[in-house]
Structure formats: structure tokens, C-alpha cells
């Protein structure tokens, strides 16, 4: 097996690899924006402190967000190919050969995406720089500067993240007994979370809670968000890693008198907890980041009284940066949901052959999405609290963040809307395939 097979595989699974490439492109653009601001600040000297402070405070946890988004999407792409990888094993391909080919496929999809993400990233950096100039925080006439070192660093980080995800995911995939490939459409049994995943999730939760507690002892100033923000991100990622365990109790709904479609949806989520966790993970991150950062900024706004205050001048820039991060997370959510739903053609075909109507299948997909969204909002709210409670205590003396209640409702509603907007049209497209043909699709 070599590069020729890798290119052929990417063409055969173009939809799945486009999803991971889209996330890689968006992540590269976001990281390039911060890198360009940092390079501009370092090049223009001491009068550009905000150009160094902004990426220093926000850039670190943005790297974690982008890394998690890329890893989750690449991992889901490989997870969906477990049966195909088992088939390769059954024709005498060694685990090392299979893993090497998976890495090549990931590189083929990632490299063009990384190259395409640099120019939009420079543009985003220029927009943020313009806001800083308009706010009077950076001298007029300052232009964004991007050197080859910054671009090489971002490109290398994005590529290493994608390759690392491929290595980790393929290691589990090639451990599947090849005989499983003969079970053409058999549903995979629920599997326990890997030890590494559990340890990583618990460790991130501990780090996030430690940062949240440490925020209580920080001075009330612009650096307060440097611990409060990462606290929410660490808790959100930790909960996302452990989310399959949270989906398993959903099986209780399969015994409730809520209709056949809801019971079937609950059973699917319980049986496919690992895949359900992959779908819920970016939603948890979206809710945690959106709620934490927006309420953190609204709390800051509530204690800012003077129009010439630095915090008031920086608020529009912060909102812009938050919008960029939320947009990236939304891209991860949509791409993940589309990829996950597209790969269920065989399952939908089996349901149709079992006398289920298109409408019943659609209601089942909608019920799964709603249950997943509710769980993601609940877990994401924990991450929101990890950011806002200590931040608000330091700023206002109250554990309740200052801000309108409709903002939280809008975040929760947006999470549900994203799920339905991504899954329903994709399911409709999948159901257009004849059930018999769907059983033969890869």
C-alpha cells in the first residue's frame, strides 16, 4: 500500500475527508489570525502591548479549542471506516501498513486545507487589528505583518494535530478482529471508554477546576480572564471526552412511554454511545465556550462605567474574537453531524427494509438530535459555570454572572438548531437511496 492507494481512498470517501478538511482549514485560519497579531506586535515594538497581550491571553486556549476540533473530526472520519480497515486486515494487510495508509490519507486531506486557511487567517488578523486601531489601543497606520516563521508554526501545528489524531484513532481501529468485516451491517456493540480517554478527561477536569478555583485569588484586572477562560475550556474538553458515559443512561428512555421513535432513538444512542459522544463533544464545547466567554464579557461590561476605560475600548474587540471562536466551533459541530449522519445509510436501509417509513426514520433522527442537544447543553453549562462563577465573584462579589437570560436561551436554542439543521437535510438525502442499495454502500 502506498500513496496511490491513499489518494484512491480519499476520493472514495471524499465527503468524510472534506468534513475534516473544512475543520482543519477553519482552525488554521483562526490560529493564523492570532499568529499575525502576535508577529505584528513583536515587530512594531513596545507601543503595541495589546497586540501581544490579546493573542497571549486568548491564543493559548484557542490552540486547545482548534486542536480538539481537528482531533474529534479526524477521529470520527476514521471511526466510520472501521469496517473497511477490518477488511484490509482480512486480506493480510498488517496493522502497521493500515495505520501508515490512514496517516497518508489524513495528510492528503490536511495539507491543501492548511494552505487554503492561511490567507483567510491573515484577513481575520487584519480585521481584529483594525478594531484595535479604531478603539485607540494601537497606533494609527499599523498594518498586519506575517512572516514565514509564524505561518510555518501554525501549519506545522495543524498538520501534527491531524496526524496525531490519525495515529491515535487508527491504533484502535486496527485492533478490531478482521472477522468483524464479515458482519456487513451488524451494529457495533457499545464499548467501554478507553483508559487513556478516561484518564485524559479526568485530568482535564481537574486542571479546569484548579484554574477555576485559582481565579478566585487573581487580582481584578485584564489578566483575570487568562485563568477563567482556560478553566471553562479545560472543563468542556474533559466533559466532551467523557460524554459517551453520559449518553448510556439515556437507555432508560427506551422503557418510557414516549412513542416508538423516541424509544428507538434512546436505544440507538445507548448502543452507539461512542459515536454519540463524538457528536455531542463539539456541542459541549460550543455551549461551554459561547456561554462562558459571552457572560464573562457581559459581566465585565456591567462594571465598566467610564467611556474611556480600557475595558470599554477593548470590549468590541473581545466580542469579535469570541464570535470568531464560536464560528469555528459551529463549523466543527456542523461538519461532525453531517459526517456522522451521512455514514448511517446502511442503518437507514435496514430500518426501511424492516417496514419503517421515511417519516418514522426522520422522527427518530430528530429525537436523537434533540436528546443529544439537551445532554450537551447540560454538560456545557457546567463548563460555563467553571468560567463565570469565579470571574463574577471577583468582579461583582456575586457567583451569578451579569447578563441577560435570553443569551443563555439563545445559546441552547442555537445548539438544537445546529443539530437539526445539519442532520435532517443529510438524513433526507440518505433516505433517497433505495434500501437495498444502501446496504451495499461503504
Task: Identify the pLDDT of residue 185.
Answer: 41
More confident residue, 113 or 355: 113
Is residue 179 pLDDT above 70, yes or no?
Answer: no
Instruction: Specify whether the CB–CB gap between 108 and 20 falls below 8 A.
Output: no
Instruction: Specify whether the CB–CB gap between 48 and 40 falls below 8 A.
Output: yes
State pLDDT tens for residues 25-68: 999 999 999 888 888 888 876 556 777 877 877 777 788 888 88
Task: Identify the pLDDT of residue 159.
Answer: 92
Per-chain mean pLDDT for the chain: 82
- Global pTM value: 0.83
The band of 193, judged by pLDDT with boundaries at 50, 70 and 90, is: low
More confident residue, 232 or 439: 232
- 64's torsion region: left (phi>0), alpha (psi -120 to 50) or beta? alpha
Q: Where are the domains of the chain?
A: 1-183, 189-442
Is residue 383 pLDDT above 90, yes or no?
Answer: yes
State pLDDT tens for residues 215-271: 999 888 777 888 898 999 999 999 988 887 777 666 566 565 666 666 667 666 655
| Grid coordinates given for 309 | 476605560
Determine the angle formed by the axes of helices 310-342 and 14-44, rounding to 10 degrees: 160
CA–CA–CA angle 359, 361, 363 (5° rounding): 70
Is residue 174 pLDDT above 90, yes or no?
Answer: no
What is the DSSP-derived secondary structure letter of residue 189? P
Rounded alpha-carbon distances, angstroms, from residue 412 to 37, 392, 408: 32, 21, 6
Asked which of 49-53, 389-393, 419-423 is least confident by mean pLDDT, the reply is: 49-53
Amino acid at each position: 500500500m502506498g500513496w496511490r492507494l491513499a489518494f484512491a481512498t480519499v476520493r472514495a470517501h471524499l465527503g468524510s475527508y472534506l468534513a475534516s478538511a473544512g475543520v482543519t482549514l477553519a482552525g488554521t485560519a483562526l490560529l493564523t489570525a492570532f499568529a499575525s497579531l502576535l508577529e505584528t506586535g513583536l515587530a512594531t515594538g513596545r507601543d503595541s502591548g495589546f497586540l501581544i497581550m490579546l493573542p497571549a491571553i486568548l491564543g493559548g486556549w484557542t490552540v486547545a479549542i482548534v486542536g480538539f476540533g481537528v482531533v474529534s473530526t479526524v477521529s470520527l472520519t476514521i471511526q466510520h471506516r472501521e469496517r473497511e480497515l477490518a477488511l484490509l486486515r482480512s486480506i493480510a494487510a498488517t496493522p502497521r501498513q493500515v495505520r501508515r495508509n490512514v496517516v497518508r490519507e489524513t495528510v492528503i486531506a490536511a495539507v491543501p486545507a492548511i494552505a487554503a486557511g492561511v490567507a483567510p487567517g491573515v484577513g481575520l488578523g487584519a480585521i481584529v487589528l483594525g478594531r484595535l486601531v479604531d478603539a485607540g489601543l494601537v497606533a494609527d497606520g499599523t498594518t498586519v505583518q506575517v512572516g514565514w516563521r509564524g505561518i510555518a508554526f501554525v501549519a506545522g501545528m495543524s498538520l501534527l494535530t491531524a496526524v496525531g489524531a490519525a495515529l491515535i484513532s487508527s491504533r484502535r481501529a486496527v485492533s478490531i478482529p478482521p472477522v468483524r468485516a464479515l458482519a456487513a451491517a451488524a451494529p457495533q456493540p457499545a464499548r467501554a471508554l478507553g483508559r487513556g480517554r478516561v484518564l485524559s478527561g479526568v485530568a482535564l477536569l481537574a486542571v479546569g477546576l484548579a484554574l477555576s478555583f485559582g481565579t478566585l485569588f487573581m487580582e481584578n484586572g485584564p489578566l483575570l480572564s487568562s485563568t477563567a477562560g482556560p478553566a471553562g475550556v479545560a472543563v468542556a474538553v474533559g466533559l466532551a471526552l467523557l460524554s459517551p458515559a453520559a449518553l448510556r443512561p439515556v437507555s432508560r428512555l427506551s422503557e418510557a412511554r414516549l412513542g416508538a421513535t423516541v424509544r428507538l432513538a434512546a436505544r440507538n444512542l445507548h448502543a452507539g454511545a461512542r459515536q454519540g459522544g463524538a457528536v455531542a463533544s463539539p456541542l459541549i464545547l460550543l455551549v461551554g465556550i459561547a456561554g462562558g466567554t459571552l457572560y464573562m464579557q457581559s459581566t465585565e461590561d456591567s462594571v465598566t462605567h467610564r467611556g474611556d476605560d480600557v475595558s470599554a475600548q477593548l470590549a468590541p474587540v473581545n466580542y469579535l474574537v469570541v464570535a470568531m471562536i464560536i464560528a469555528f466551533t459551529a463549523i466543527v459541530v456542523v461538519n461532525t453531524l453531517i459526517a456522522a449522519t451521512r455514514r448511517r445509510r446502511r442503518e437507514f436501509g435496514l430500518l426501511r427494509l424492516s417496514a419503517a417509513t421515511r417519516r418514522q426514520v426522520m422522527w427518530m433522527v430528530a429525537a436523537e438530535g434533540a436528546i443529544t442537544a439537551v445532554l450537551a447543553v447540560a454538560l456545557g453549562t457546567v463548563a460555563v459555570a467553571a468560567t463565570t462563577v469565579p470571574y463574577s465573584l471577583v468582579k461583582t462579589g456575586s457567583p451569578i454572572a451579569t447578563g441577560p437570560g435570553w443569551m443563555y436561551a439563545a445559546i441552547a436554542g442555537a445548539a438544537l438548531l445546529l443539530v437539526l439543521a445539519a442532520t435532517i437535510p443529510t438524513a433526507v438525502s440518505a433516505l433517497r437511496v433505495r434500501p437495498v442499495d444502501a446496504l451495499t454502500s461503504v
